[in-house]
Amino acid sequence: MTLDELKTACGSCQKCPLGATRTNLVFGTGNPNAVLMFVGEAPGESEDLSGTPFVGRAGKLLDKYLEYVEIPREDVYITNILKCRPPKNRDPEEGEQDQCMDYLRQQVKLIRPKMIVCLGRISAMRLIKPDYKITKEHGIWVQKGAFEMTAVYHPSLLLRGNPTYKEQMLTDMKAVAEKYRMYKQNQ
């Protein structure tokens, strides 16, 4: 199966009620051969309208961090656990996540990144460990199968203005960039 075939299959998904309420499928975007993959939790309103992950205010902030650490957005792959927007941007329910996890697993299998960075606690709790504490464990790398994984704060949290979180995010993103360049050199 190719990414386009997977996207088509995902586009007809009605496994949970979110498939009936979406404006657009928000599958993923970026380099299909990316070394680095970012995984958020679910699309927001801007993403639902455009069909592209991380294009709203939080996405623009993520772009600024990527630019600052000199990682071109087009070099990475960005997706979410959920491919459809939950109503009123609420947190994705566990059952909704369960229904979308196979699509995410297939994306990872097809892209084969070396690094996966979870954007926020929900993604980290699903992909790294169920009791993940983002304020204590952000930026700590773990090996899971063939991937090195970490989590950083979700950009939407940073929009709420906590300067300590913004500084920690910058430190974490610098570490992501350092590891990313190491993998790129060894390709």
Q: What is the pLDDT along the chain (187 residues), one digit of tens a residue?
A: 999 999 999 999 999 999 999 999 999 999 999 999 999 999 999 999 999 999 999 999 999 999 999 999 999 999 999 999 999 889 999 999 999 999 999 999 999 999 999 999 999 999 999 999 999 999 999 999 999 999 999 999 999 978 899 999 999 999 999 999 999 998 7
Strand arrangement, sheet containing 36-40: 29-30, 77-80, 36-40, 115-119, 147-152, 142-144
pLDDT number for residue 151: 98
Residue 5 CA to residue 126 CA, distance in Å, equals 25
Residue 157 CA to residue 77 CA, distance in Å, equals 21
Residue 68: partners with Cβ closer than 8 Å, 6 or more residues away:
170, 173
pLDDT number for residue 13: 94
pLDDT number for residue 187: 75
Contact call for residues 37 and 108 (beta carbons, < 8 A): yes
pLDDT number for residue 161: 78
Residue 67 CA to residue 71 CA, distance in Å, equals 6
Contact call for residues 155 and 62 (beta carbons, < 8 A): yes
What's the topology of domain 3-185? Uracil-DNA Glycosylase, subunit E (3.40.470)
Residue 67 CA to residue 5 CA, distance in Å, equals 31
pLDDT number for residue 57: 95
pLDDT number for residue 139: 98
Rg, C-alpha atoms of the chain: 15
pLDDT number for residue 106: 98
Q: Which of 141, 135, 118, 140 is nearest to 41 (CA)?
A: 118
Domain spans in the chain, listed from the N-terminal domain onward = 3-185
Tokens of 184: 């790129």
